[in-house]
Amino acid sequence: MSKALVMKSARFVGCIVLFGAASLSATAWSETPKTGLWKITMQGASAAHENFDCVTDEEVAKFESGGWDSFEPPYENCETTDRKQRSDGFSLEYLCDSEHQKGTGNMSMTLSDSEHWTMTMNFKGSLSMRPDVKPMPIDVDMKVDAAWSGPDCGKYADQDE
C-alpha cells in the first residue's frame, strides 16, 4: 500500500472512530472516549503503521449534536448501507462508487474503555489514484488498535483534517 494511501486510510479511520463514537450518546456507553492524543496502530496483511490523531472537545461536541448526520466520508460517493449500534460500539457496511474508488466494505468498532478501542475493517473493490490510470483491484483487511496517549496533543494539535 502506498504511503499516501496509508495516510489517507489513517485519517479515514480517525474520522470514522470520532464520528462513530460521537453518534452514540453518553448514556449508550458506560464510558466515552477521551479527548486528546490517540495513538492509532493499523495492521494490514503485510505491514503495520502508526498514526497519531488529536481529538478535541469541540470536535466531539460538534458530532454529538449532529450524530451520524455529521459524518461525511473522506471519499466522494461513499455511503453507509447498514449501521448497527451496540452499547460498546458500532458496526457498519458501506458502498463506494466514484471514479477513484468502487467497492464495498465493512467495519466494526469496540470501545473497551475510555482509553482503548479496536476496529476491524474490510474493503473489496478497485482504486485509481488518477482518472487516466486503470483501476487496480484491492482487497484490504485491517485491524486497528487505539490507545489514548494523554490530554496534550502537542505537535498533532494543528494537523490538517
Q: How does 54-92 read in b/e, with b if 16+ C-beta sit within 10 Å?
A: bbeeebbeebbeeebeebebeeeebeeeeeebeebbbbb
Does residue 23 lie within any of the structural domains? yes
In-domain check, residue 33: yes
Instruction: Show the domain range for 76.
Output: 3-156
Q: What is the pLDDT of residue 149?
A: 95
Do the domain assignments include residue 14?
yes
Give how many domains the chain has, as a whole number.
1
Amino acid at 17: V
**pTM given for the model:** 0.68
Distance CA(95)–CA(78), nearest Å, equals 5
From residue 130, alpha-carbon distances to 7, 83, 124, 156 in Å are 17, 31, 19, 29
pLDDT at 71: 47
User: Tell me, what's the pLDDT at 112?
Assistant: 87
User: Tens-digit pLDDT profile for the chain (161 aa)?
Assistant: 444 444 455 555 555 554 444 444 433 444 667 889 999 999 987 888 999 999 888 876 765 555 444 444 445 678 888 888 777 777 888 899 988 889 998 888 888 888 998 989 898 999 888 878 888 999 989 999 999 999 999 998 876 54
Cell 471519499 belongs to which residue? 75
Whether residue 161 lies inside any domain: the answer is no
Residue 51 lies in a domain: yes
Nearest to 156 by CA among 1, 36, 42: 36
